[in-house]
Amino acid sequence: MADKIPYLDLPAQIKSVRKEIDAALARALDNCSFCLGPDVVQFEKDFAQFCGTRHALGFNSGTSALHVAMRLVNAGPGDEVITTPYTFIATSWAISYVGAKPVYVDIDDATFNLNPKLLEKAITSRTKAILPVHLYGHPFDADPILEICKKNNLPLVEDAAQAAGAKYKSKTVGTLGDISCFSFYPGKNLGACGEGGALVTNNPDFAARAKSLREHGSTQRYHHDEVGYNYRMEGFQGAVLGVKLKHLQKWTDERRHVAERYAELLADTPLKLPREADYARSAWHLYTVRHPRRDELKKFLDENGIGNAVHYPIPLHLQKAYASLGHKPDDFPVAEKAAREVLSLPIFPELTDAQIRRVAEVVKNFFRR
């Protein structure tokens, strides 16, 4: 059998920056700045500049950044936060952690993102914030959502966990809402060597409070103004992310190239391919195709050594953890159909043209049988 093609080749990425990372980690070790510290501060500056925002704060995960974002908008018991049912579950966890209720709005079939046309009728007197996701690295349609936020005086929190480097019109994702949260989980477009996340904002009050909440609700040691968390980014992760951030633009371009090649090579297959909306410049975190025979295709790719994954098999409103919300099948039919049909193909900057062609060939063989 031909060589296996991994779904994600992290060793290849580490290899390409190994020397820089070794040097950065050695420096961090010498500094003994293991929790926050100078490498994290430098990364925060660089990441804020990359996004084009005034403040970026390093967190120990994207989930904790989202949790703090929900504290910043003062969501709590009895409140509702409107979000998408079609995402990684951490988006909803953040709402649940503060005791608020996730209120789902179905997605747009073309982009997999929260459908702005359905948003307004989900707003109630209890709504505290809107929390859409830039799923798969493709920006959500921010303008109509922002208009609704403005009209209803609601903050917009972006879950940009998958979308570092994506653009909405001319704006970098992370600058569209009041607060944006990123994940630096190792497999993300900008991945740490461990867990990591960031909260990004232009609002100095949000930034100051987030900084305090990240560190036990304190700005002065052993003085605690409110209940906080230990959500600090580790010094080692700041060092690694500082190195990798320098390569992110190039890596995003390479991902974009992979997506273009798939679009060419798979154009005449029965698959529904992902396309960028007019307003979008996707970061192509995932390349997710659709077909009603998804499970058979998945099995065929598995048998032929082509890495693949389903993002996501169960929408959040049908997850056991959210049974208490009382949803039933068909509540969000667009998300549910997507969950039955999606399959993510290998996409990463180091994917070679020969590998791309092999993936396409195996997909074509499936439909030729």
Enumerate binding residues for ligand PLP (CB under 6 A).
61-63, 87-88, 90-91, 133, 159, 161-162, 183, 185, 195, 197
CB half-sphere exposure, 74, CA atoms < 13 A: 3
Chain centroid offset of residue 309 CA: 16
For ligand PLP, the closer of residues 106 and 195 by Cβ is: 195
For ligand PLP, the closer of residues 87 and 175 by Cβ is: 87
**CA nearest 137: which of 344, 290, 342, 286?**
286
CB of 311 to ligand PLP, least distance (A): 9
At 114 the three-state DSSP class reads strand
Residue closest to ligand PLP (Cβ): 62
Residue spans of beta strands (DSSP E) within the chain: 55-59, 80-83, 101-104, 127-131, 157-159, 167-168, 171-172, 179-183, 197-201, 280-281, 287-290, 342-345
CB of 286 to ligand PLP, least distance (A): 10
CB of 237 to ligand PLP, least distance (A): 11
For ligand PLP, the closer of residues 88 and 348 by Cβ is: 88
Rounded CA separation 270/253 (Å): 27
At 171 the three-state DSSP class reads strand
Rounded CA separation 255/162 (Å): 13
CB of 172 to ligand PLP, least distance (A): 17
CB of 251 to ligand PLP, least distance (A): 17
Are the C-beta atoms of residues 160 and 181 closer than 8 Å to each other? yes
For ligand PLP, the closer of residues 91 and 127 by Cβ is: 91
Strand-pairing partners, residue 157, are 179
Rounded CA separation 77/307 (Å): 42
Q: What is each CA distance from 172 to 9, 47, 158, 277, in whole angstroms?
A: 26, 12, 12, 15
Rounded CA separation 211/232 (Å): 9
At 58 the three-state DSSP class reads strand
With the CA atoms of 41, 45, 51 and 55 taken in that order, what torsion angle do they form, in degrees rounded to the nearest 10?
80
List the strands of the sheet with 280-281, edge to edge: 171-172, 167-168, 280-281
For ligand PLP, the closer of residues 197 and 315 by Cβ is: 197
For ligand PLP, the closer of residues 137 and 366 by Cβ is: 137
For ligand PLP, the closer of residues 133 and 334 by Cβ is: 133
For ligand PLP, the closer of residues 265 and 310 by Cβ is: 310
CB of 314 to ligand PLP, least distance (A): 15
Rounded CA separation 347/284 (Å): 8
For ligand PLP, the closer of residues 133 and 266 by Cβ is: 133
CB of 154 to ligand PLP, least distance (A): 20
For ligand PLP, the closer of residues 128 and 134 by Cβ is: 134
CB of 231 to ligand PLP, least distance (A): 11
**CA nearest 311: which of 133, 165, 191, 102?**
133
